[in-house]
Chains A and B, each alone.
Chain A
């Protein structure tokens, strides 16, 4: 299971407007209830980074984006240690909760898949 396996489902939903209309509010509520926005994080900050793919993706981030990520994580850790949440105005707004890391992860997984495919070519008869 790669990191991007959920993306296929997500795309399938977005491709069907009627389904998207039903699912979007549910997803939105779920994300809100998950609580990470109250710590000033965005969804992609929650991706487990202890593996090669995400490490490589993190290296590819533009400097400003990488800096912002570290800032958010440190702020969230601080909140966690202090057992508090951020004041309301510092919560992540839903429109700011954009996927900044997933495109890179997706690309790296695609590259790896392609390499594996090309490494095991067989000649068609």
Chain B
């Protein structure tokens, strides 16, 4: 086991520790329910873990500090990109030590959360709990580090966003749908507000006890709680940033982009948490758009809708945030084809009210598989678990979702489908705005 106390002795010892002969921590007993997260609290920090007995561990610290909570534009992005930079130990040392242990570190930013992740061999749990704690507690946020290392990666991500019309359209759709807060840009569009002072202040606001959750798969619960209590003890207490509840507005926006064409049509969906309406997940799978087999359009409503139009795809997804949701369809293709594709997609959405029972049944099966495989996936599931743990103190349990999916009726899906069109839609077109249709042309009400 590697703890901080072993580090000052120099990296050569660390190298020797990197290949321990024993795998004593490995659970050998079969696990009855691999999806079940047990939630505990250690030193005021919520800790969720499940032990599937595997030889590797995935650890994440979820902090409720994504772009919807930021106090100035771009702060969340800046803070996320500062993860694993100089803290008590230098960024270089952390990176080299992680490599020696065969682990990997990463961070992601969503609208609601900043997630720090580590993947490593099971025995190295203490080292990586400490590494993540160091990011939260000791990162220095020096201005020159921002100029030398952080700013360039942020600029790259922004550039990438502007070269991906579908993602840009989805970003804009969020802005149109939710305005401020949840609708604010995920990435920093300008570095104007990203001073050392502001980022440090925001980090203090976000990284505190009441506002984070430590989530792990493949780690023993007791060990995780013990090490969390030890390494996170310097983390200040607090409840995190305040935010106004999200409100759906809807509307239309068009952006010119020379890099391709995309349309996003979005409708209000269901918020996550205890009152989550599974009908919306089923609706997203009912619309579908992604084929289950290669070289095949698939049987879902959207893939049928655009199957006649070459090089065009339409995919429906549902995202659930803590107090709002968005069901959106992304249509990509050549500019001239998108008007017809859009019309077909809108008529497919209008036909949801008359969905056939066998289609709903197929959608439920797909949704069930989607939910279960996402929960099984160690990287994607952790954020959702962390988010619900911070919000309600209870882990999102997949069994509940699957049960709800089993109980969903065709009528409920039809009603939800009809309800979509009652509210104002969100329509965003990105690309060659001369060719791309207006919402009015597709028969949408915005």
Residue ranges of A at the interface with B (Cβ–Cβ < 8 Å): 59-60, 62, 104, 111, 114-115, 117-118, 121-125
* Stretch in B10-18, B258-266, B409-417 with 4+ CB within 8 Å of A: B10-18
Contact of A115 among B13, B15, B92, B144 (CB under 8 A): B92
Rounded to whole angstroms, the CA-CA distance of A125 and B16 in the bound complex is 7
Contact of B144 among A59, A118, A125 (CB under 8 A): A59
A60 to B145 Cα, complex, angstroms: 9
Check: B152 CB closer than 8 A to any chain A CB: no
User: Which of B147-172 touch A at CB < 8 Å?
Assistant: 147-148
List the 8 closest pairs (A to B, CB-CB), nearest first.
A60-B144, A124-B12, A124-B16, A118-B96, A123-B15, A121-B11, A124-B13, A121-B15
> Which single member of A60, A104, A118, A125 contacts B93 (CB below 8 Å)?
A118
Q: What 0/1 pattern do residues 397 to 441 of B give for CB contact below 8 A with A?
A: 000000000000000000000000000000000000000000000
Q: Which of B69-109 contact A (CB under 8 A)?
A: 90, 92-93, 96, 100
Bound CA span A124–B96, Å: 16
Contacts of A60 in B (CB 8 A): 144, 148
CB neighbours of A117 from chain B (8 A): 11
What is the chain B residue whose CB lies nearest that of A122? B12
Confirm or deny: B143 has a beta carbon within 8 angstroms of a beta carbon on chain A.
yes
Q: A114-B90, A114-B92, A118-B96 are in contact. List 6 more A-B contacts (CB 8 A).
A: A60-B144, A117-B11, A121-B15, A122-B12, A123-B15, A124-B12
A and B contact pairs by CB, cutoff 8 A, 20 listed: A59-B144, A60-B144, A60-B148, A62-B143, A104-B144, A111-B90, A111-B92, A114-B92, A114-B93, A118-B92, A118-B93, A121-B12, A122-B15, A123-B12, A123-B15, A123-B16, A124-B12, A124-B13, A124-B15, A125-B16
B11, B13, B15, B144: residue with the most chain A Cβ atoms closer than 10 Å:
B144
CB-defined contacts of B93 to chain A, threshold 8 Å? 114, 118
Q: Residue-by-residue, is B348-382 near A (CB-CB < 8 Å gives 1, otherwise 0)?
A: 00000000000000000000000000000000000
Residue ID in chain B nearest A60 by CB atoms: B144
0/1 string, B1-31, CB within 8 A of A gives 1 = 0000000000111011000000000000000
CB of B85 to closest CB in A, whole Å: 13
- A76 CB to closest chain B CB (Å) equals 26
Return chain A residues, CB-CB under 8 Å to B13. Answer: 124
Contacts of B15 in A (CB 8 A): 121-124
CB distance from A86 to the nearest CB of B (A): 31
Which of chain A's residues have a CB closer than 8 A to the CB of B12? 121-124
- A118's contact among B11, B143, B148, by CB below 8 Å, is which? B11
Roughly how many angstroms separate A122 CA and B13 CA in the complex, as a whole number? 9
**Chain A's nearest CB lies how many Å from the CB of B2?**
14
Report the separation of the CA atoms of residues A104 and B90 in the bound assembly, to the nearest whole angstrom: 15
Interface residues of B in 113-163 (CB under 8 A from A): 143-144, 147-148
Report B-chain residues with C-beta under 8 Å of the C-beta of A123: 12, 15-16
B90: nearest residue on chain A (CB-CB)? A114
CB A47 to nearest CB in B, in angstroms, measures 18
In whole Å, how far is A67's beta carbon from the nearest beta carbon of chain B?
15
Give complex CA distance A121, B92 in Å. 14
A60→B148 CA distance, assembly (Å)? 9
CA distance A60 to B11 in the complex (A): 28
B19 closest partner in A (C-beta): A123
Closest approach, in angstroms, between the C-beta of B150 and any C-beta of chain A? 14
A124 to chain B minimum Cβ distance, whole angstroms, is: 4
Q: How far is the CA of A118 from the CA of B15 in the complex (A)?
A: 11
List residues 271-320 of chain B with CB under 8 A from any CB of chain A.
Answer: none
Cα distance A60–B86 in the bound complex, in angstroms? 15
- A28 to chain B minimum Cβ distance, whole angstroms, is 31
Point out the residues of chain B lying under 8 angstroms from A114, CB to CB. 90, 92-93
Determine the chain B residues whose CB is within 8 A of the CB of A125 once the complex forms: 16
- List the B side residues contacting A122 at CB < 8 Å: 12, 15
Chain A nearest CB from B239 CB (Å) reads 34
Closest A residue by C-beta to B16 = A124
- Beta-carbon nearest neighbor of B97 in chain A: A118
Smallest Cβ-Cβ distance to A57: which chain B residue: B144
Complex Cα gap A124–B15 (Å): 7
Bound-state CA distance A122–B16 (Å) is 9
Contacts of B147 in A (CB 8 A): 59
In the bound complex, residues from chain A placing their C-beta under 8 Å from that of B143 are 62
Most-contacted residue by chain B among A104, A114, A125 (CB, 10 A): A114
* Bound: A115/B11 CA distance, A: 12
